[in-house]
A and B are shown apart, each in its own frame.
Chain A
Amino acid sequence: MSAGGMREDRNWGGSALVLPALVLVAAFLLAPLALILRYSFDKYDPVKLMLGVFSPGNYVLAVADPFYQKVLTTTAGIAALSTVIVMLLAFPVAYYISRLESQRLRGWLIILTMLPLLLGNAVRSAAWMIVMGTKGVANSMMLGAGLIEEPIKILYTQTAVVIALVSVLLPFAIITLQSVMDSIPTSLEEAGQSLGHSPLRTVFGVVLPLAMPGVVAAAAISFALAMNAYATPVLIGGPTIKMMGPAVYDQIAKANNWPFGSTLACILMLATLLLTVLSTRFLSRKYF
């Protein structure tokens, strides 16, 4: 057998290893997505659930309805704000961890960062409910410190949703950023400082541009997760804060309107994809 033939055999072997994962993804991700896409063009009937027709009516309704326009813009707004705050908070933490000399401390900080991920999102939201309630920890502390005279409403507001989402997204952003910063040699920062840059200017002039691939990746992950959030807006936002994830759930599970729920799900996927691609391309052109 020739050397080329052996290489081809090895390539086939590699492809075969990928096959099970591909089959699983096709069966459990692409097939349901295709079903959802098909359902989104169907029509709801209170008795038959779906009529088996093919009509763009749901899309027209969803796009033209001011209520769903508002739900989509609220979702995008909350997701964008949460992402910006997460990036501002995650960057210094990731930078600090990546520049630690003590491997032991570094290991502990990474474990601490990932610790919240070991708890379910609903459990963390329940904890936030205890903190943010009228007689919750936050109000008690502010009352005790004399900052407020009466309990203020924190739970069931957009601010509460943003705070809780930031806490959910922060570990993802820190871990993503930290792994990219690890690959940036400290000698480049030393070079910057030897040329007279202050430490702050070195971070913004040297580290940030080099870490931009990580910043873009972390922001994209955070934004996509925030756009599709469900437990946080339901538990922390309550019935009055409308986001797309709960709106999809309401239609599918509460109204039994699978076609319209599928339409909202497709619009949510498309909006997330579009906004993520556009922002990634914008940042890429600016810094890469």
Chain B
Amino acid sequence: MKRREFVGAGLAVAGAGMLGMRPAYAQSKQIVVTNWGGDWNGRAVKHIEAPLLESKGWTIVRDLNEQPQRMTKILAERRLPRGTVDVAHFADGEAYTLNVQDALETIDYSKIPNAATMIPKMKQPYFMPWLYSAWEVVYLADRIKDPVTSYADMWNPKYAGKIGVMDQNYGAAMQVASILAGGKMDNFEGAKKLLLEWKKAVQPKIYPSHQQAQAALKADEIWMLGNWKARGLQWQKDGLNVRVASPKEGGIHTVFGVVIPKRAANKDGAHAYLNALIDPEGMRNLCSDNFYAPPTTAVSIPGEVGAKIAFTPAQTAALHYYDHKYWAENITKWLDWWKKDFVGS
């Protein structure tokens, strides 16, 4: 959009920006962090922010919201002289989309000593990985006796009416269907046909998000659904009798991490936050609690929990990775298709 044409957008955003605007103090001890809410943020506060930052004099201002709203805010603020967010939590695909739209700062890893042991493949100039897991299959152990070995088990008509799918994770549903339709991560056309057949034959129940899906498993409404391995293990810990199956087709690798918006007011504070985020001690406690895997070799999770979290060499070799470019260019179209043709049909 041209500068002149952006006047309109400026009017809307400037109001909010001016109200929330604060000076860029290099020495400021305040860091504005935007993150998902709920237990995701609760564990970040408990294991990282409170012991490693707030106890050392930093003030963390939390702006908690769902991913689309937070992305929209950063996109809207990229044209302002100064934004309202210093650090934002996102998955790697979302970070790629923001970076393509010129909304992110290049991270200065020399200011993050803890990043020295980070797995290089996951590290991006605009995105620092924090936790990773894979999209697998979660199912009720006392309802499904035959061990689940494939994504295709969710397509089995004998489980008709007992399969769940989460509306907010429509992208993962499309990826799974695409893998089943031929293993493509850069072309989802085959996925659409398979998903429509799935809807007709298996009648999956659609839930808004994880919380409702968890409640549905508890209530015996559904027996099986795709989800992150870490989320399945958390549900186990919460007392739900579920198993997590690594599908033979390979899980879908998902990395969660952080970015620094281009218009962040406190970039020094943001880098200090990033360093604390991957502190080995903090990560060990966090990963033992939320079952995500750490992206640094400096952290090892001991005992049974460590074994549950870890991916075997075979599982790691089979992992599917996002095609971020394809994802960013098509996500709007898929959302449209998902709402109209899948959910709406």
Please list the residues of chain A having a beta carbon within 8 angstroms of any beta carbon in chain B: 31-32, 35, 38-39, 44, 46-52, 65, 67, 70, 133-135, 234-235, 238-240, 242, 250, 252-257
Contacts and interface: CB of A to CB of B under 8 A. Distances in A.
Interface residues of B, number: 36
Given A32-B12, A46-B331, A239-B206, 16 more contacts: A46-B328, A52-B6, A65-B340, A134-B219, A238-B167, A238-B206, A238-B207, A238-B208, A239-B207, A239-B208, A242-B339, A252-B72, A253-B69, A253-B72, A256-B72, A257-B332
B1 A256 contact: no
A52 B331 CA distance: 22
Interface string B311-339: 00000000000000000110110011001
Given A52-B5, A135-B219, A234-B208, A254 B11 contact: no
Given A35-B11, A239-B207, A250-B339, A47 B344 contact: no
B145 interface: no
Contact of B2 (A31, A52, A239, A254): A52
Interface in B10-31: 11-12
Contacts, number: 75
B8 interface: yes
Contacts of B206: 238-240
A135 to B, nearest CB: 5
Contact of B215 (A38, A133, A254): A133
Interface of B: 1-2, 5-6, 8-9, 11-12, 66, 68-69, 71-72, 75, 100-101, 167, 206-208, 212, 215-216, 218-219, 221, 328-329, 331-332, 335-336, 339-340, 343-344
Nearest to A48: B1
Given A35-B8, A253-B68, A49 B1 contact: yes
Given A35-B12, A133-B219, A238-B206, A51 B68 contact: no
Contact of A256 (B212, B332, B340): B332
B100 A38 contact: no
Nearest to A247: B339
A48 B102 CA distance: 10
Contacts of B1: 48-52
Contacts of B332: 44, 46, 255-257
A52 to B, nearest CB: 3
B134 to A, nearest CB: 24
B8 A255 contact: no
Contacts of B221: 134
A133 to B, nearest CB: 7
Nearest to B335: A255
B12 A254 contact: no
A256 B330 CA distance: 12
A256 B328 contact: no
Contacts of A38: 8
